[in-house]
Amino acid sequence: MFDEVSQAAQVPVLVTGGNGYVASWIVKDLLDRGMLVHATVRDVTDPRRTRHLLELAERAPGRLVLFEADLLDSTSFDAALSGCEIVFHTASPFTVLYAVSGTRCETLSSRRDTAPATC
């Protein structure tokens, strides 16, 4: 059992958009479980995007490695993805407000008894 846990802790888990709201909670949980976390941010040199993640890592048994990646560059996630078997893909260029209205729009549009929705 201990071997399985320690072995799992060596296999990195990727969290994209690592500094985002949802991702930060995921990163915290994984670090608290002692996991090796690969987290992507758009600018690793920007402390506004990284400081809280580094502070989380300092207080947890797990290990955090930050990578720079942008959804607009399809190859930029390659390094962060290397060795990972699990990916939490939360990076999103849309805020929750737009995501919710977009989902509502799609839902309305897909109803057969209504005309295409104007959102």
- Interacting residues toward ligand NAP by CB under 6 A: 17, 19-23, 42, 49, 70-72, 90-96, 99
Task: Please report how close the Cβ of residue 26 comes to ligand NAP at its closest, in angstroms.
Answer: 9
Task: Please report how close the Cβ of residue 113 comes to ligand NAP at its closest, in angstroms.
Answer: 27
Burial of 82 (0-12, 13-18, 19+ CB in 10 A): exposed
Q: Which residue is nearest to ligand NAP (CB)?
A: 20
- Using CA atoms, how far apart are residues 117 and 33, in angstroms rounded to an integer? 45
Task: Please report how close the Cβ of residue 66 comes to ligand NAP at its closest, in angstroms.
Answer: 12
Q: Are strands 36-41 and 63-68 parallel, antiparallel or unpaired?
A: parallel
